Amino acid sequence: MTIIDVHNHYYPPAFLDALRKGPSVLQVSDDADSNPVLTSPGDINIAVPGHRDIAYRQEVLDREGVGRQLISLTCPATLLETKERSVSLSKLVNDELARVMADRARHFTALATLPLNDPMASAAEFDRVTAMGFKGVLLMSNVNGTALADERFWPLYERANESGAIMHIHPTFPLGVEAMEKYWLMPLVGFLMDTTLAAAHLVFAGVPERWPKIRWVLGHLGGTIPYLAERLDRGYENFAECRKDIPKKPTEYLKKFYYDTVNFDPKALKLAIDFAGVSQILAGSDYPHMIGSIPKMKESIQALDLTEAERNAILGGNAARLLGLEGA
């Protein structure tokens, strides 16, 4: 059984070089250990070797017994740049990710990055990366304050539906981020709320109803979706507006979403399993962020009261099915 980690992040060195040269809203400096430090409004990311050295990363995977990772860029991706710069940086990132997949096909698959602040350019880039062999994309949970459910993204969803693409929602700067500037409240609390808000809005707006072949993945165990799902159904039952665009309860859509295990509490994982079923849970580590951990990913899944077949499904079988890797 191959362990597949679906939630982790990689900065292609060419992307870091492009940010240094500018122009970019993200500022790149170096810490005392020569790690690039990416600073954006309200956030700091230290690009340790695991973030930027793919050979080093593969050594880590071999040591940890992880057979494959589904790699992706992390927030804010290219959202904060001008539209033109966002397009060029997204193409650069995707070309670099494609090179990693070609050179190290046994170990790495990737989700593409889109210039989401330009919806039509995003649709065009989606067409390009699909032709390159990407199985899906990483979407930020909001686009500089615009909801993913907004109609300006519908051309993208039409394309994604046609190809049965994976769309993995990852949080970014939450709405109301000014209230989260201390104690790392943005990633600790705000990220989870923004993923929850994005998923609920997509469902109530009828996006999964209209385009049912899109395969949605929610980061960080869906934010708080498994915990709040019953409340969303009560909203559907009691508020006419919540029934306007969908013929079924929200949970009937949300139970078809996938949830990665970047929440290392076995009790939280059990809640998600009880909600969506073993088949919808995917192993994720958030490697190599400070708050991520491959060992904790494995330990939390091992701590669950599951059959061997169920555990193997979460560790890799479900992801293999999602990525079309079964029998590969």
Q: Report yes or no on 205 lying in a domain.
A: yes
- Checking DSSP bridges between strand 258-260 and strand 108-110, what pairing results, if any? unpaired
Distance CA 13, CA 21 (A): 12
**Residue 83, Cβ density class (10 Å: 0-12 exposed, 13-18 middle, ≥19 buried):** middle
Other residues' Cβ atoms within 10 Å of the Cβ of residue 119: 20
- Is 167:214 a contact under the CB 8 Å cutoff? yes
**Residue 102, Cβ density class (10 Å: 0-12 exposed, 13-18 middle, ≥19 buried):** exposed
Q: Check residue 327 and give its pLDDT.
A: 57
Q: What is the 3-state secondary structure (H, E, C) of 234-266?
A: HHHHHCHHHHCCCCCCHHHHHCCCEEECCCCCH
Distance CA 197, CA 175 (A): 10
At which residue do the structure tokens 């491959």 appear? 294
Q: Check residue 43 and give its pLDDT.
A: 80
Long-range contacts of 230-234 (CB under 8 A, 24+ apart): 232/200, 232/203, 232/204
**CATH code of the domain covering residue 158:** 3.20.20.140
Q: Check residue 40 and give its pLDDT.
A: 83
Q: Check residue 311 and give its pLDDT.
A: 98
Q: Report yes or no on 44 lying in a domain.
A: no
Q: Domain limits at 93? A: 4-12+49-323
**Residue 92, Cβ density class (10 Å: 0-12 exposed, 13-18 middle, ≥19 buried):** middle
Say what percent of the chain tops pLDDT 70. Answer: 99
Q: Report yes or no on 185 lying in a domain.
A: yes
Q: Report yes or no on 175 lying in a domain.
A: yes
The residue among 280, 195, 275, 189 whose CA lies nearest residue 229 is 275
Tokens of residue 81, six digits: 């740049």
Q: How many domains does the chain have?
A: 1
Residues of the chain with pLDDT under 50: none
Distance CA 145, CA 128 (A): 26
Q: Check residue 204 and give its pLDDT.
A: 98
SS3 of residue 18 by DSSP = helix
Task: Please say whether the dihedral angle defined by the alpha carbons of residues 143, 281, 48 and 16, taken in this order, is positive or negative.
Answer: negative
Question: What is the model's pTM?
Answer: 0.96
